[in-house]
Structure 1
Amino acid sequence: MINRLKFLTIGLGHCGGKIADDFKKAAMDKKGMIMDVCAINTDGADLATHTNIPEDNKLLIGSGKGAAKNWEEGYEAALQNETNIKAFISRMLSPDVDIILLTLGEGGGTGSGVAPVVAETIKELGRTCVAIVTIPFETESVKSKVNAAVGIDMLYRSEGTNAIICIENDKLTAYYPDRLLTEAYEKVNEIAVSTFLNLIDLANLPSKADRIDESELKSIFKYPGFATLANFRTQANLVEDVAATLRRSWNGSLFAEINPASAAGVIFGIEGPTHLFTTTQVDAIRRTFHEILAGKDVMLGIYPSEHLRWASYIGILTGLDIPKKIHGLLDKAKTEYQQHEKTIEAKIRSKREGLGFSLKTSTVHEKLTRPTTHREFEKPFKSVPITEGIHFDLSREVPKVIRAIEQYKGETLTHEELINLIQNETDIEDEKSIAKVILELQNLGFLAEVRKNVYRIV
């Protein structure tokens, strides 16, 4: 009896649970892969939808109502349930499990928050795991991007995670433009599962040329970093150059584009009709790997078969550098988060200032003077002592400030915003000095105090 590789897939959160559920279904349909699955979630209703996962293989943590799309809530729920999580995984993790897969969506609160805790738990149990994660669409909210950025960073740094495989959601539209979104997700999951299944099949398939075996497949994930799956199939009569098609196979997929030259380890199986594998073509394949991956751990299997009408390229690249998509995600998450924080701060300031309504008659201190000529800018000001031994020259600084604020003419600012504006646009840092400048700008008619501590630039 052939001892096939055994996988344990742990689905985390909504997306991860769905992937694990699909993995189990595909493995059962294929009947060539031994796949145990389980799921951990903070949402009880969502956990119940995974019908291919046995009820005993599900763990509910936290409130049972979800993580409010907030990685911190997912993380806290996992920390508070560390003991339960460890006992749960220990029960699921039989000694004959060869590869542990974590599946999750990095845009959600549960997956991004729970995954680092689960990875560390797996490490404590003396094992490591491979994470298969989905990257949010670029059009998703700032919260999703922040969840993903924080989650991937923690998962990447965890010693319990050997490899991270990124599924790029933005590619779904290009690959499946007319499919329902749920169908597109299922196709992605199917591709991921079929890559492992097809490699297992090849590892058990005899070949008169080079071949790979299951021990090599198991060992490929020992190289830490990012990883990608290649699963490319085409009609054999369309293949003119096997090596050229090979180069396209690892970036022509739904997984995040990578730099193959940065890989530490590669396992690849190429299958097709016999006429594709002349000595010249096989030499070109080997040269392609050598040119890109000289000095790296490359395991290659070549499987010619007389009656095949298609050619397939199936492989895994591990120990990769951080993909460009992840760098872009980190930058966008930071930028959009900072913009969001500024918006919130402005709302808080506005609320603090109130609506400006009063039943008492108020005097609007708005001093609109005649336009000031350039000659008046040059009139001497007295030096105002700020601190002992230090003098602030109004005659030198006020014209600078006038030029700096001219572009904001007509805008209304709070006292705090005006100080920040002057600090950002000039080299004046001291708030006492700025207070003197603001007073002089009012005297000259460049600032009007429309209500207490609120100014209009005129």
Structure 2
Amino acid sequence: MGDPQGTGPGVVGIQGPKHPLASPDDEELAKIVEQLKVSIKIVGCGGGGSNTINRCMEEGVYGAEMIAANTDAKHLLTIKAHRKVLLGKRITRGLGAGALPQVGEEAAREAEEDLVNSLGRVDIAFVTAGMGGGTGTGSAPIVADIAKRQKSLVISVVTLPFSSEGRVRMENALFGLEKIRRNSDTTIVIPNDKLLQLVPRLPLDQAFKVADGILMEALKGLTEIITKPGLVNLDYADIKTIMAGGGVAMIGIGESEASGQNKVEQAVKEAIESPLIEADISEAKGALVRV
């Protein structure tokens, strides 16, 4: 039999449905999936935290909105972010906190309404800052508290200063760390001094860039472990189980030049033995591993 539609001699052309595998329930399922999507925001506080936001924007962090908050208007203008909050317009007039944590705290309290509006109701709020300075040390605990009151899961990722930055800066950092720890579900601490074991003989300005890169990788990894599908998918409930009330946490980074299965095992082993991890992890309540 000839084929009037031109499919060839002896062949009858039959036009099937455009999407033969589609289910009539898919539209409803798609709506439910959209409603279940986890909302994530990352707030960088102070100069160091804002620099991390800038780095995250340049690298691309899938599924998170970036917010930079600082008392220094000139620095804030140079930062790439989805939202920017100038802290303490009246107190600091956009000139910074002068390395005084109490000024950073007052500036954040003055800008509380702006911070609440920028954060909104979000499932997970990451708060990042370099502890030891004025704005980051003073404002980050306030931002974490605001997010906590908004019923978010609050994960803070902070650095401690290099010893070479001086005793006062370290004392300020430890004081700020204790405050942000009380306002967060989990606080991930990256001691900058430990970075020197990873990259010895680096000048201080280069070491700061390494610290900034590790902060960015930590935030990117934690975010995309939820927002990007993998071989083993983790959802918001999984993260909440591990992170809610998790206290202080640490992060390890490992890499391997081996091949095959050994490559993964060696990288994980290096991460577990990373000098950034100061505690005995055999006592840990939980762990997240991203390969």
Matched letter for residue 160 of structure 2: I
TM-score normalised to structure 2 length: 0.74
> Is the alpha carbon distance of 1:170 and 1:182 closer, same or farther for their aligned partners in structure 2, counting shifts above 3 Å?
closer
Whole-Å separation in 1 of the counterparts to 2:219 and 2:149: 27
- Report what 1:72 is aligned to: 102
Matched letter for residue 51 of structure 2: K
Larger Rg: 1
Aligned length in residues: 251
SS class of match (1:232): coil
Q: Report if the CA contact (8 A) 2:43-2:67 is conserved.
A: yes
What are the residue-to-residue correspondences of 1:224-243 with 2, within 5 Å? 224-237=246-259
- Report what 1:257 is aligned to: 278
Structure 1: where are the runs of 5+ without partners?
A: 270-311, 313-458
- Report what 1:279 is aligned to: none
Out of 106, 114, 127, the position equivalent to 2:152 is: 127
Whole-Å separation in 2 of the counterparts to 1:45 and 1:139: 27
Matched letter for residue 84 of structure 2: N
Query: Which sits farther off after the overlay, 124-133 or 216-225?
Result: 216-225
Q: Report if the CA contact (8 A) 1:251-1:257 is conserved.
A: no
Out of 55, 59, 69, the position equivalent to 1:22 is: 55
What are the residue-to-residue correspondences of 1:1-400 with 2, within 5 Å? 5-27=38-60, 33-50=62-79, 52-54=80-82, 56-61=83-88, 62-63=91-92, 64-79=94-109, 81=110, 84-85=111-112, 87-95=113-121, 97-158=122-183, 161-176=184-199, 177-178=201-202, 180-181=206-207, 183-196=209-222, 199-200=225-226, 204-206=229-231, 211-215=232-236, 216-237=238-259, 246-252=268-274, 255-269=276-290, 312=291
Q: Report if the CA contact (8 A) 2:52-2:216 is conserved.
A: no
Instruction: Answer 1 or 2: which has greater strand percent.
Output: 1
The structural deviation recorded for 1:238 is 8.5
Structure 2: where are the runs of 5+ without partners?
A: 1-29
Q: Report if the CA contact (8 A) 2:123-2:152 is conserved.
A: no
SS class of match (2:108): helix
SS class of match (1:268): coil
The structural deviation recorded for 1:198 is 5.5
Q: Report if the CA contact (8 A) 2:63-2:223 is conserved.
A: no
Q: Report if the CA contact (8 A) 1:98-1:218 is conserved.
A: no
Which of the pair has the greater relative contact order for Cα pairs under 8 Å at 6+ separation? Answer: 2
> Is the alpha carbon distance of 1:197 and 1:111 closer, same or farther for their aligned partners in structure 2, counting shifts above 3 Å?
closer
The structural deviation recorded for 1:240 is 5.2
> Is the alpha carbon distance of 1:39 and 1:25 closer, same or farther for their aligned partners in structure 2, counting shifts above 3 Å?
same
Q: Report if the CA contact (8 A) 1:107-1:147 is conserved.
A: yes
